[in-house]
Structure 1
Amino acid sequence: MAATTIPSVNLKGCEKAMPVLSMGTASYPPAGLEATKAAVLEAIKVGYRHFDTAFAYGSEKPVGEAIAEALRLGLIQSRDELFVTTKLWNLQLDYVDLYLIHWPIRLTEMVSKTPVAREIVRPLDVKGAWAAMEECKKLGLTKAIGVSNFATKTIQEILSSATIPPAVNQVELNPLWRQEKLKEFCKEKGIHITAYSPLGANNTKWGDNRIVDNQVLADIAKSRGKTTAQVALRWVFEEGVSIVTKSFNRERMKANLDILDWSLTEEDIQKINQLPQRKGTTMASVLGAHDIVLELDALL
C-alpha cells in the first residue's frame, strides 16, 4: 500500500498535514532497541508515514535510527515525508512534527520502572508547562503542540492563558470507550482527537482483551469478511479521529492499514454504539493508585 493512500488531517496551527493512521511504538514487555528499529523500518516499507513515540516507551532512539536508516536505504527521500509524534525530546531529529504533554501530572525524578512511589508524584503546573510547549513551537523544534490524557477541565485551564491552543489531544478511544463528551468539547475548540488503545491494548499490563474478544464486533467482522480488529479500527476511523495502532508483525501492520476502502453499515454502527462503556487504560494502572492519579483518572 502506497503511503499516499492514507488520508491526512490538517491540524490547527500546523502547516504539515498529519496522516490519520500511525504506528505506535509502545510495547509490553519492551521489545528492545533492535526489534523496534526493525519494526519501524518494516512499517515504512508497508506504507506507514506517521510514527508515535515517547520517552516513557523507551522507543525514541530506535525510531530516530530507523528514520535515518530509511533515508540511507532510499525508502524515503526526505525526513519531511514522515510525521513524528513524541512526548519528549530525544529523537536524533532536527525537529518533530507533533510534541505532546504525555500526562497532566509531574514526576520529580527519572523513573526506570512503574508503578512509581507516591512521593515523586506531583500536580502539573499546567499553564507553565504549556508556556514551555509554546516556546518549543516558536523555536521551530516542533510543528505542532498538543496534549495526551487531558480531560476537558485541564484543557480549559490551558485555553485560559494559551496563545497557541493545543492542536491534538491523544486519549484512549475505542468502541467500548467512546469519549462522546470529550470529542464534542474538542471539536468545538478545534482540537483534533487521536485514539490510542483502539484495540484495547491487549497483552499489556494496562489493557485487556475486551475489544478483540467482543462478540458483537466479531459477528460484524464475520458478516463483512474482516477481522474483529479491522471492524474496531474502522469504527474509530469513522468517528473522524486519527489512530495509533501498534503491531511489530508485518502482516498485522498491513491489516491495520486495510480499513480505508470499505464502510460500516448503519446497522453495524447502531450495534457498536449500544455496547457498554468501560475505560480500559488508566494512569493508575501505570503509575500506581495514588490519590492524585486517581483524581485525574476520574476526570477523563
Structure 2
Amino acid sequence: MNITLNNGVSMPAIGLGVFQTPPETTTDAVATALEVGYRHIDTAAAYANEREVGEGIRRSGIPRSEIFIETKVWISDYGFAETLHAFDKSAAKLGVETLDLFILHQALPGEFDKTIAAYRALEQLHSDGRVRAIGVSNFMPHHLAELREATSIVPTVNQIEVHPYFSQPEVRAANAESGILTQAWSPIGGITSYRGDGQKSTFTDPVILSVAEAHGKSAAQIMLRWQLQLGHSVIPKSVRPERIKENFDVFDFELTPEQMLIMGTLETGVRGGPAPESITLETFGRDIPEA
C-alpha cells in the first residue's frame, strides 16, 4: 500500500522505525523488515544508527531504487549551510547519493529563524535533485503557518506522535488543510508502555483488545489498521523478527465504521514525547558527528 505525497512522490504507507534501536541491532532489524516486505525505512541523524540502516539495506540485496529512505535533520544542524552539510553527513552514513524524504526533526520555537533557514536548505536540496521530498516533524499548526509564510514548498509530511491515547486532532486537521500527510510516530502507542506514571498502556487497553479479538489480530495490528484507515503513514518500531512481520500483516482486514469510532474514544490528552514548545538548543542540542 502506497500513499501519494502532495508533490506526486509515492511512499509506502508502512515503514520500519528505528528510534532508540541500538546500532548493534539496527542492521539485522532493517534486513529482516526488507525481507518481510517493507520498502520504507525511517531513521534520523539523532538516532545515531544511520550507518547501520545503510548496512541493512545493502545486506538485503534489494535494489536501492525499490527502497524509500527517510531521515531527519537534528536541531543542532539547523541553519542554511549547516543543514546542507547535515544532508552530506546523513547521505554518507547511509551510503546513498539521494534521499527519498528529508525532514526537520523538530521546530526550534525560540530560534525559528534557524528553523526557516534549515527548511530553505531542504528546498535547495529538493531543487538540486538530491532529495525527492521534504517535510517536518513535531510541528504544531502555528509552526506550520509561520513556515508557510517564509518558504515556498509545502511540506509533504508532518511526522507527529499519534496513537489512540494521543491523537492530536488539531494538528492532523492543520496538516490536512495544507495537503500535508500525517505520519505517525509511536503509532501503536509504544511510548505508553514505558512512561512509568501508572497510566495504562495501549497494548492492554480492553477496548483495543476487544476489537483485536473480533478480528483475530493483535492490539498492535488493530492500531496500525486504525491509522491506515485514517489515511496516515505509520512507522512502527521493533527489533524482534516476529513483531516486525506482525506489524506488516495488516492488509487482510478492515475495521468497521463502528470500530473506527470506538477507537477514537480512547483519547487521554497525555503527550508521551517532549512538548514541542520546550525544544531548545540548550536542553536538546547534541553534536551530530561526521560520517
**Would you say same fold, with TM above 0.5?**
yes
Interval containing the TM-score (normalised by the shorter chain)? 0.7 to 0.9
Gaps of 5+ in 1: 1-6, 107-121, 294-300
Q: Does 1:86 align with 2:74?
A: no
| 2:188 counterpart residue number | 199
Q: Give the Cα separation in 1 of the matches to 2:97 and 2:280.
A: 37
Percent identity between matched residues is 33
Aligned residues: 262
Q: Does 1:275 align with 2:260?
A: no
The answer to whether the 8 Å contact 1:200/1:209 transfers is: no
Q: Give the Cα separation in 2 of the matches to 1:57 and 1:242.
A: 20
Per residue, is there more helix in 1 or in 2? Answer: 2
Q: Does 1:253 align with 2:252?
A: no
| 2:43 counterpart residue number | 53
Q: Does 1:98 align with 2:101?
A: yes
- Give the superposition deviation at 1:278: 2.1
Which letter does structure 1 place at the counterpart of 2:267?
Answer: P
Q: Does 1:129 align with 2:129?
A: no
Match for residue 18 of structure 2 among 14, 25, 42: 25
**SS of 2:163 mapped into structure 1:** coil
- Give the superposition deviation at 1:243: 0.3
The two structures have a TM-score, normalised by structure 2, of: 0.83
| 2:288 counterpart residue number | none
**SS of 1:160 mapped into structure 2:** helix
Q: Give the Cα separation in 2 of the matches to 1:130 and 1:288.
A: 20
RMSD: 2.5
Q: Give the Cα separation in 2 of the matches to 1:209 and 1:83.
A: 34
**SS of 1:141 mapped into structure 2:** coil
The two structures have a TM-score, normalised by structure 1, of: 0.80
> What are the Cα deviations for residues 4-47 of structure 1, in whole angstroms up to 9, with x where unaligned?
xxx11111225x310000000112xx52x331101101111010
- Give the superposition deviation at 1:205: 6.0
| 1:150 counterpart residue number | 139
Gaps of 5+ in 2: 74-86, 284-291
Which letter does structure 1 place at the counterpart of 2:107?
Answer: P
Q: Give the Cα separation in 1 of the matches to 2:24 and 2:247.
A: 22
| 1:35 counterpart residue number | 25
